[in-house]
Each structure stands twice: as C-alpha cells, then as structure tokens.
Structure 1
Amino acid sequence: MNISLSLKSLLDSISTKPLNESDLEKYLEEFTLKLVENDVAYELARSTASSVVKALSKIRVSRFGSDLRELVIKTAKEHLLSNIATCDIDYMNLVASSLSEKIPFVQMFIGVNGTGKTTSIAKIALILKKANLRPLMVCADTFRAGAVEQLKLHAEKVGVSYFEKGYGRDPASVAFDALELSRRDGYQAVLIDTAGRFHTRRGLMEELSKIKRVSSPDHTTLVVDAMAGNDSWEQAKTFMELIGYDSIILTKFDADVKGGAALSVSYISKKPIIFIGTGQGYGDIRKFDIRAYVEELFARL
C-alpha cells in the first residue's frame, strides 16, 4: 500500500536525525499531507498527525533512532484504532439472528453509480445460497437503462431467484411487492438493489428514504468504491446523514494501491466494513478485519 510507503519515508527522515522544536510543525504538515495523499480523510489525517507531534513534543527533541520510530508508530496506530469503527459484524450470525425472529431477512443496498453494487449483491446472494438459504434479488432500480437485465444476469449466474417489474415503476412499490412475494413463496432473504444515487442529488436521495420506509430493512449496507479517492468518505458522510446505514462493503479493494479509503469511511461513518471486494468473480469477496488491516499497514514500517 502506498500509505505504508509514504509513512515509511517520513519515518526514515524523522528517525535518522536529531529533532528540534522547529521541526515539529513541519512534520505535522508533512505527516498530514502524506495521509491525505493516500485518501485518508483530512480530519482523521490531521488529528493523527497532531497526536504524533504531541507525543514527540513530550520527549527530548534531540532524541532519535529506533525508540523515536517506535513512538511514532505506536501513537499513530493507537489514534487510528480509537477513531475508526473497530466493532465486528459476523454477517451470517446477523442473518441467523434476524431469521430467528422473523422471515425474511431484508437487506437494502445503497450507493452511488458505478460502485459495483449489483455485483456485490450477487456475491452476497451466493454466500446465502451456500448457507442453504433461499435469497431473492430485487431490482428496485426502475430507471437506469439495463438495470433490470444486469440484475437478472447476475442472479442467473449465481443460481438464485430475482424479482423485477420492469421500468418506470415506483421503486418503493417494487420493494413492497417483492416482500409480499417472498413471504408467500418462502424466501428467507430479500436483497434490494437500488438505483445509484449521486450523494449530491438530494431529490434522488429522498426516493431512497421512501424505499427504506416501505421495506423496513433489517440491515442497510452502503457500497463504496475503494478507488473513489476522497469522494469515498464524502459518500459515507452524506449517505449516513440522509439515509442511514448499518455497514459498508468496500469494492475494488484489490486494486486500491493507496489504502486510505477503508480508514476514511470507517472514521466518517463509525460503521463496520463487513466485506471487501477482491476481484470480479462472484467468490471474490471476503470478510474485513480493520484492526488486522491497521496492524498490517504499520507492520510494513
């Protein structure tokens, strides 16, 4: 990850020469910039850098070497872990717990255009199918050209059922009808795909709120593209404020060379990243442990 390489170069600079008071402000700015350049939200980058500089200011400024390096790593890591969502959700336990109370388990997926939302839903459907559950993929995107065909293709490829009512229908009514069908036909999980909404379009966001009111999902998941740069945490912030959600799926994680998106969306939302996308195949999805991820980032330093 570039974030590890950038911080390593900065640490090499700090730990190989004595520090004086005038250096600290420079390192504050440099540390912040290194994090922001790697898609860490500015607020988190600045507070992390400030915590490091504060720790450095408490020691003898002439001190340098491995002890100082370890201090920087320890301080930055502890600050990050105390400011991001480190709670863990076991997805299948979540589903099982919900099904013990009512059937079906309803999950709604939201996010902007092009994040891989429909593909992610198919991946989740396959996970549920392998657990001997009957999932139903629902196309509540009734406006985007090709949306129905795309969901149908994914559903057929993973071998699960799908529900659609064509184009031009009220998305909330589609979700409602899908739930009626699921109760009648014994589907245990309903996965609702919604139209990609640019988080800056408030009118379209209100439509999502209507779908959520009608379907009363047990769990709402925001799908975010790890390659979206700083826009990823803007999406996480706006969708939380306007719609609300319980977890995040971070797609294209395998192609993200910077590494800051996971930290940013977790910090902004205070919600766990339950899965990351690691490829185009339907099996290319895995559970995400953000504590282990942070440990890995700093282990490279």
Structure 2
Amino acid sequence: MFESLKKKFSRTSDKLEEELIEEAQEENNLEEESGKKFSFFSFGRKDKKEEEDSKSDVAEIPQEVESIQETDTSDDETSDDKDEKSGFWSFGKKSSDNKEEPQEEESAEEIQEEEEPKKSHFWSRNKEEDTEESEDADEKTEEKKSRFWSRNKDNDSSEENDEDEEPSGMFSFITAKTISEKHLEDILWELEMGLLEGDVAMEVASAVVDSVKDDLVGRKIKRSNDITEYTYNALRNAVAEIIDIPGKSMTEMIEAKKAQGEPLVVMFVGINGTGKTTTIGKLANYYLKKGYTPVIAAADTFRAGAIEQVNYHADKVGVKLIKHQKGSDPAAVAFDAVEHAKAQGKELVLIDTAGRMQTNTNLMDEMKKIKRVAKPDLVVFVGDALTGNDATQQASKFNEAIDLDGVILTKADADSKGGASLSIGYVIKKPILFLGMGQGYDDIKEYDADWMLNQLFSESGEEVNINEA
C-alpha cells in the first residue's frame, strides 16, 4: 500500500543527506566512521524492538541482579554488548582481548593498520597519486563522493548482517551541522510537488511541508543516521496530525443507541461506481458477526438494477431488506426501514441511496429530503480511494450540501498513491470510519490512524493484515 508516498518520504531524507554531505565536503568537515547506516524505514521497526527489549529487561531484573552477585564478569559482557549495538569506532576489537589466540591478534592488528589511516586523515590519497595533477576536475569530485560510501569489506564480513541496516555510508561531521532553511528550500519544494503528484490535496501537502520545516530547522546533526532519523520523525509526525481526525466509531454509536432502545440509522451517499452498495453488504455482514441485527433500506429507486443489486447482497449475508417498487419515493423506503427496526428491536439501519454526481442539484435536494425524513444518526460518504483527489473533491461537495459525518474509502488495498487516504478526512474535517480492503464480504476494516501511519511508514512490500486491531 501507498508505495508512491513511501518513495517520496524516503527521497526527502536522501536529498537532505546529500545536501549536508556536499556542503560538509566543501568545508572539509567530514570524517568516516565504522558502523552501519540505517535505512529510512528502519526506525519504525527499531522503536518496536526497543519497546520489546525494555519490557523483557524489566521482567529479567531479578535474574540480572543475581548474576551480578555471583560474578564480576557481567560488566565486561555488558560493555561488549554496548559496543556491538553501537557499531561506532569498533575497529580491531579482538586485538584488545588477551584471551584471543596469537593468530587472531595478528589478524586484528592488520585490520587496525588498514583502518588507522582512514580515521586519522579521511581525505588522504596514495602519495604517488597526490603528486600527479588531475586531468579532469569532475572526475576528481566524483572520486571524492564515492569515498563517502566506501567501507572496509573485511571489517563488514566479521559482523552479522542486520536486516534493518545498510552496509555502507556511515560518516560524521567533525563540527556538528545545523539544518537551516536554505538546506530545506529545494528539498521541501520537491516533496510538495511529489505529494501533489500522488493526488494529495493542496492544503494537505502544504500542511505536511510546513510541519516538516518547523521540525527540522535548527536541528544539530552529528552523524548520518541523525539526518535520517530526524527526517523520518518529522515526516511521521506531520502525517500523524493529518490522518488522525477525532470521532466516535460506528460500533460505539450502536452501543449508545442500543442503551436508549433505538437503532443506529446510517445513510450512505456517493456517486455510482464507488462500491457503495457492496460496502453496505460488507457492513451488514460485519455487524451481523458482531452479534447485531442490521436491516437494509433499498432507497435507490431511480436506477433500474439498483434494487436487485442491493437485494442480492442482503440475501448473501442474510439480512432483511426493505424495498418498494422502482420509481417510488426513496424517503418513504428509508422511513419504513427505520420503523421496522424499531418495531423488531434491530440495532442498525443501513440506507442505500441513488448514486449521483455532486453537481446535480435536483438529486442532491432529493437526498436532503431522505435525511429530513429518516433522521439518520450518521451520513457517510463512500469514495473510491483509487480516484485520489477526485474523491476528496466529491466529499467536499457532498459535505457542503448535506453535512457529512464520516467517510468510507473503498479499494484502499489497491491504492499505491495514498492521496485520498491522506487528504479526505483532513479536508472535510470528518473521520474515516472504514476501509474497503478487498472483494469479499469480510474484506472491510475499521479505520485506525495508528495502523494507517504504520502502513505509510513501513518498508516497501510488507504485508498488510486487515484483521489487525
């Protein structure tokens, strides 16, 4: 999911890193470090691992205290563990251990001798090469840049590979760099253009860019991993504010109405082809499995096959359908469904309405009549995530006409851009309630902002579990 946005977020981090590297190169303010460069998406997984480690450490405190009383060697082991975690400046570690065999000591000393010139003078070259004049200035510059990302392969082979880290590119600034507005000007412009290309609404793209700018300007950078981590956190925080629109879940509202002895009445609006009727079938199935009894109202009486279509879904999931003849008053159908639910003690009424363009004034007026008569607790817009910014514009028009209470996005599992998912709730200031995640009746998920954030900032290709809480 959202592969386009993921690439743009990662590219923003890479561009900022390149900008600071180039400037530090000109200032001769760069030196190579041992260690591994973290990838942009590794920080989310690292946070989870740190939480798990901290929990396990707390649980094992009594055993650690007992082991400290029994032996004094635990301090040395702890020190070794810290060195392995940090990975910084850990050259020739085996040579410092007196318990190693002579052959291993010599091997470590050879590695140290190879690495020492790099640490002492990062920009040093072979003396014979230094005496020769460069034939091409561009060639010399390219050669310098390649040095940033070079690592000693022998040293790499002696360490275990970490799936969250890249095996190259670790460096630090001799004097800490401070991120300024001039470093971000071109980078944030490129980010904003990328978001717009990904069907993100203009106001949302601007909000993300402004938030990232405020978060990054003034940050002091010492190591390359700092750049990646700060950019990752700045983007994640900006997006978190965009997608987390407060609102009650439909399940909570059903329980509240049930306590009052009333059904929750939900009216669905949107244009044809977005999956509105199928979504009603999915929701009926979803709440039927939760122990509630839904009823569906076939209030789309204009389209020839609309009643048959919603009747098919009602039969498939096993719920009651209230319908009238084609061409009858849709408001009357909705009213009868609400009265049926009250009489039968059913907890949920799902009203299907005719799909219409948001610019059709007459049909929008008819929808207002349905709302007046049925008095729905929720008016929900159903939009197709694949239409991107079009879905956001449609939701805005419907919201202006009849005041929406929430949004359901269909085909979210196939959305590579992510523009609608990122924009729609923020633009109309109404929460996303559900996401359609496939073709089956079970393929629907209650919207969760934390889950969405993890999808946007997960490694490309990670599997999506629609049953996650």
CA distance 1:72–1:200, shift in 2 (3 Å): farther
The equivalent of 1:89 in structure 2 is: 248
Contact 1:125 1:160 in 2 (8 A): yes
CA distance in 2, matches of 1:22, 1:131: 55
Contact 2:242 2:422 in 1 (8 A): no
The equivalent of 2:45 in structure 1 is: none
TM-score, with normalisation over the residues of structure 1?
Answer: 0.91
The equivalent of 1:138 in structure 2 is: 297
- State the secondary structure of the residue aligned to 1:236: helix
Matched, 1:252 2:411: yes
- State the secondary structure of the residue aligned to 2:326: coil
* 1:136 Cα offset (Å): 1.2
Q: Which residue of 339, 347, 354 maps to 1:188?
A: 347
Q: Which residue of 257, 268, 281 maps to 1:98?
A: 257
The equivalent of 1:172 in structure 2 is: 331
Query: Cα deviations across residues 194-249 of structure 1 (Å, max 9, x unaligned)?
Result: 11121222332222111111101122221111111111111222222211222221
Query: RCO greater where, 1 or 2, for CA within 8 Å and sep 6 or more?
Result: 1
CA distance in 2, matches of 1:79, 1:68: 17
Q: Which moved more, 1:63-72 or 1:203-212?
A: 63-72
Amino acid at match of 1:203: N
Q: How many residues end up aligned between the 2 structures?
A: 300
- State the secondary structure of the residue aligned to 1:17: helix
* 1:129 Cα offset (Å): 1.8
Matched, 1:282 2:284: no
Q: Which residue of 4, 7, 10 maps to 1:5?
A: 7
* 1:56 Cα offset (Å): 3.9
Contact 1:179 1:190 in 2 (8 A): yes
The equivalent of 2:320 in structure 1 is: 161
Matched, 1:50 2:52: no
The equivalent of 1:228 in structure 2 is: 387
* 1:22 Cα offset (Å): 4.7
- State the secondary structure of the residue aligned to 2:261: coil
* 1:64 Cα offset (Å): 7.5
What 5-or-longer segments of structure 1 have no aligned partner? none
Query: Cα deviations across residues 84-118 of structure 1 (Å, max 9, x unaligned)?
Result: 43435343232121111132221111112111111
The equivalent of 2:121 in structure 1 is: none
CA distance in 1, matches of 2:350, 2:316: 16
- State the secondary structure of the residue aligned to 1:280: coil
The equivalent of 1:124 in structure 2 is: 283
Amino acid at match of 1:97: A
Contact 1:226 1:250 in 2 (8 A): yes
Contact 2:406 2:431 in 1 (8 A): yes
* 1:294 Cα offset (Å): 1.6
Q: Which moved more, 1:274-283 or 1:179-188?
A: 179-188
The equivalent of 1:266 in structure 2 is: 425
Query: Cα deviations across residues 267-292 of structure 1 (Å, max 9, x unaligned)?
Result: 11222222111111111111221223
CA distance in 2, matches of 1:63, 1:30: 25
CA distance in 1, matches of 2:355, 2:201: 23
CA distance in 1, matches of 2:258, 2:317: 22
TM-score, with normalisation over the residues of structure 2?
Answer: 0.60
The equivalent of 2:188 in structure 1 is: 28
The equivalent of 2:201 in structure 1 is: 41
CA distance in 1, matches of 2:332, 2:456: 45
CA distance in 2, matches of 1:91, 1:270: 17
What 5-or-longer segments of structure 2 have no aligned partner? 24-179, 461-469
Q: Which moved more, 1:119-128 or 1:199-208?
A: 199-208
* 1:148 Cα offset (Å): 0.4
Matched, 1:237 2:396: yes
